[in-house]
Copies of this chain bind each other. A is one copy, B any other.
Amino acid sequence: MGDARKGETLIDPWGSGEVRIDEKLMKEFGLKRFDAGGIESTHRFLTRNIIVAQRDFEAVKERIIQKKPFIQMTGIASSGPLHIGHKVDVDAYLLLRELGATSRFGVCDIDGYISRPDSKVGSMKEAKKHSADMVAHLLALGVPKDDIYVQSRKDPRYYEFVLELSKKITENAFRAIYGHVDPGKLCANLLQYADILHLQLEEYFGPMPSITGIGVEQDPHARACRDMAKRLPYGLYAPSFFYFTHQRGLQEGSKMSASEP
């Protein structure tokens, strides 16, 4: 749980409690209402109340309208089989792909292992087994093969970047955001920042606006990731985010989770 200031809504990026996105929360976090006006599409995601909020979506929207290149990156931790809640992430991914995004879908097996207790993911071997299942499911849902990468099968520049990011956040800054400096969760966060940012490196597609869809409970990550982009010597754009209203999980009061069967 982050060290929220008095009166600030507590958001725990590691918790599974549902967070309702309302006007109060949006104002407090500096989020804006999601508005797809100007984009030529009648997709239900753009006209219905599924994506409700955004941070700096304007930068990407402009690229979509002007048909200029932009990046989208989506990731799912492989801590169990794909569940029906993931269908929304995949549909949003495919829509942005149609709208012109250079797109990558990360299957996050290292992150899935190191951020979760052994009772949920007991070993890297288990996390990799989940990732193989997840890749199969993503292919079945229509994500193109060349878009998908698995964290444990990347190139050296990616991993170097993950570790490089550790120098761009201090112990105090990390604790202020997350309320702890647990080594496993810290490294999981570095992987997540790298997943979102690395596609803008020269070795991949180069700097350009990027978009990632997350649950609003992940907003502290999003803000930390944007700060980090600005502190790196690579001229990266601060990544944009949009926020899903996640479907309620089967356990009362919890969001759906790949690590809860």
Contacts and interface: CB of A to CB of B under 8 A. Distances in A.
A167 B153 contact: no
Interface in A25-61: none
A237 interface: no
A186 B190 CA distance: 12
B114 A166 contact: yes
Q: How many copies does the complex hold?
A: 2
Interface string A167-197: 1011100100000111110111011000000
A142 interface: no
A88 interface: no
A124 B164 contact: yes
Interface range, A side = 20 to 34
Contacts of A159: 154, 156, 159, 162
Contact of A181 (B114, B155, B183): B183
Nearest to A117: B167
A247 interface: no
16 contacts: A110-B160, A123-B233, A124-B160, A152-B156, A152-B160, A155-B156, A156-B159, A159-B159, A159-B162, A166-B183, A167-B183, A169-B183, A171-B182, A181-B181, A183-B190, A186-B186
List the 10 shortest-distance A-B pairs measured between CB atoms, nearest first: A159-B159, A166-B187, A181-B181, A167-B184, A166-B183, A114-B167, A166-B184, A152-B160, A110-B163, A171-B182
Interface of A: 110, 113-114, 118, 123-124, 151-156, 159-160, 162-164, 166-167, 169-171, 174, 180-184, 186-188, 190-191, 233
